[in-house]
Chains A and B, each alone.
Chain A
Amino acid sequence: MASRGRGRGRGKWPGGGYDHPARHTPHEDFPEIALPEMTCARATVEEKAMIVATLKFEDFWRNSCYHLEEDAPKKKNDDKEIERYSDRKRKTQSKREALSSYLKLTPANFPAELVQGSKRGQASNKKLRWDRGSDDQPFEVFEKLEEKHKEGDKKTEKDGDDEDEHEEEEVEEAESSDDDYNQNIEFDDDDDDWNQEEEAHEDYYD
């Protein structure tokens, strides 16, 4: 069969057209790609503080009463049913506080149709959490601290002088927490396994 240049002798196709049939490949959201070398300026002390603050905000909202669950409200009393694994998992997740504990649900503050029928004024002696405390998971904290010590020796050499000088000013909270926002913001510039080979500069917004 005469192939038209590109074909590899696939035989007789009735349409006589295409040489590359469509292949279904699984969709990859984040395929691995080699990124250009990071030549932009390192994070300043101020920027590091901003990153810590950002992580703290995001963490707060994720655990706050403002983050609404999509699930249907609690099921009825189902003692007779066998306890499922998902039920057990749900119990261990920390309970969110009620939205009405923090919102002042009066017509002076919100549209009337949204506050009609809502419970006004929760029992005012209920102590609110305000911010998820750091004393929830002490053991994980210790694990993280140990890890930090191991990595810490390597990192302090690389990250150099500026961080040491400003360490005291930078640290907002002395309390240790297992959350992201309390880890040292260190940029592994020298040991970046993303930059495998040198490539031409990609576009980036200055």
Chain B
Amino acid sequence: MVSQHGILLAVSIISDHFGPLVSKVCGCLLRHGALPLQEIVRRLELSPGQVKNSLLVLIQHNCVQAFNSPRGSGDKTATHYLANFDNILHRQRFSKFLSVIRADIPESEALLEGLLQNGRLTFDQLVERTISKVPEGSITPSREEIRMNFNKLVFAHYVERCPKPEPFFDPLVDEQSTSTRKRAKTVEIALSIDKKVVNTASLSDAERFSEIPYIMEDASNANDSTHSSIAGTKRKHNALEVDAELNSTIAENEVLWRANFEKFIFCLKKKFCADRKKPKLKVGTHPIWEAFFEASLIERDNNSVTSPINGILERVGQKEGGTLMTLDHITRVLEELNCNPSSEDPDSFILDLSRIVEASQNEEIESLVKKKYGHAAFTIFRLLVRDGCPMETDKIIDTTILDKQIVYGTLYKLLKDDYIETERILSGTGTGNLQFFVWRVKNTFREQFIDNLYHAALNLRQMVNYIADLLLEGSKDDTKLRNRKNILILALTRHDDSLMLFNGF
């Protein structure tokens, strides 16, 4: 389930991009889960036409996934619509996705921009768009050139074929298998249903990233090559050609393509982890750390980076001081940096990013606690986080070697703001009724923290919109207002890094 401010933020993004009508429909789905069309119409009291158009826009931009689900008893099914919260939030990071492509495959940046702007397009539409944007006097790129640049994106998994528009999914079938667990948390099931729908709709990897085939357009060439063959094989060859041509036509005219957000988020995750650890690296290890990331291959999952040793060596050699490093030295440094040899391929090294992500999350929260409540609070909070189990007040005082009054005051502040919780334990042993308190970190403190992050992002967006309105009205301080707006957008861009971090990327 998405938190309150998360929903408000998502609705604000959709409202800015697609208007209030679409945002109402989106908000309804985010708050109530997957709903059929009639239910949305009923709840929002809008016309079916308005709701349909809104859903079309949301599906086009990958913010909603439809699925067919049984309704009531019998064979009846109904189409349900499920909002995709992550994809909605990704919309404020499109500029970051573009910068990833700019660094990796700059010649394909314009194609990606088209897909991000329009959500989903066929290859034909992309070609039409590319040609229409060519400035007068410039050379128009050939269709072949565009196809080549496009296939580069597909090969690198930056772009994928769109998922099925209306797959069949029966949530009850899955629930039965988990009914043996008596205390099934509804929150967990709700989360997994969302993910299950998305997985059901996804195509297989082979299909998702199947490039647009290149067909020889010159028919005479094909005929020449079959001159010497027997009549039967010639016919078969022609049939194959027709099939291939058909596939190519379908891939160009009919298949809808979209940006693969997973891949972009993973690239940003790698960059974040690489940059995060840099300040803590020992002198002389920077080139090896950088080379490791530069040499990474297509990843198998979204949690680790794999690089072959040859690639790493090659890149280290290109860096300053790299040529003097021996293989032994490099291998040792890599292991110190938690890049371990892969079990599948001893010549490759794997780095698990989730540890860096988790450590960064803790650092962020601790840093905030330190700024807001002081160093004492930071010490206590860190102690409770690291320890994990409830701790008695006296033990906290002894371990942190802080003054009793300071500890009491700090614990109270943290309690008030819902970072920690307490339990009163009565000890009836002996003569007196002893009571003491135990303290522990609230297990929902991360969710609260994320909710606060969403709230901050929402506030920033509202501020930007407010200034945009002022600019529209026109004022003498146009330049100053624009500067303020840019500062706020910069703040939002940087703040979004924290949002990504706390969503685990």
Q: Footprint of B on A, CB under 8 Å?
A: 29-30, 38, 40, 43, 46-47, 49-51, 53-55, 57-58, 60-62, 64, 66-70, 99, 102-105, 107-114, 127-128, 130-131, 147, 151, 175, 180, 183, 185-188, 193-194, 201, 203, 205-206
Contact = CB atoms under 8 A, between A and B. Distances in A.
A61 B17 contact: yes
B226 to A, nearest CB: 34
A107 B165 contact: yes
A50 B165 contact: no
A69 B21 contact: yes
Contact of B98 (A53, A68, A201, A203): A53
Interface string B340-367: 0000000000000000000000001001
Interface string B39-82: 00000000000101111110111000010000000000001000
A76 B166 CA distance: 37
Nearest to B122: A104
B359 to A, nearest CB: 14
B57 A66 contact: yes
Contacts of A111: 55, 59, 66, 79, 165-166
Q: How large is the interface on B (under 10, 10 to 19, 20 to 34, 35 or more residues)?
A: 35 or more
B148 interface: no
Q: Which of A29, A60, A108, A205 has the most CB of B within 10 A?
A: A205
Interface of B: 16-22, 37, 50, 52-57, 59-61, 66, 79, 92, 94-96, 98-99, 102, 114, 116-120, 122, 125, 128-129, 132-133, 135, 162, 165-166, 254, 256, 364, 367-368, 371-372, 453, 456, 462-463, 466, 478-480, 482-487, 489-490, 493-495, 498
Nearest to B164: A108
A187 B165 contact: no
B96 A68 contact: no
Given A53-B98, A61-B18, A206-B367, 14 more contacts: A51-B493, A54-B95, A57-B94, A66-B18, A99-B53, A102-B118, A109-B162, A112-B79, A128-B129, A147-B479, A175-B135, A187-B486, A203-B372, A205-B498
B18 A110 contact: no
B18 A67 contact: yes
Contacts of A40: 494
Given A58-B17, A127-B132, A205-B495, A109 B256 contact: yes
Contacts of B364: 205-206
Nearest to A202: B371
Given A108-B254, A112-B166, A186-B483, A70 B79 contact: no
21 contacts: A29-B462, A40-B494, A47-B494, A49-B102, A50-B98, A54-B95, A66-B17, A66-B57, A67-B19, A68-B53, A70-B19, A102-B60, A104-B122, A104-B256, A105-B56, A108-B254, A127-B132, A130-B133, A193-B480, A205-B456, A205-B495
A130 B129 contact: yes
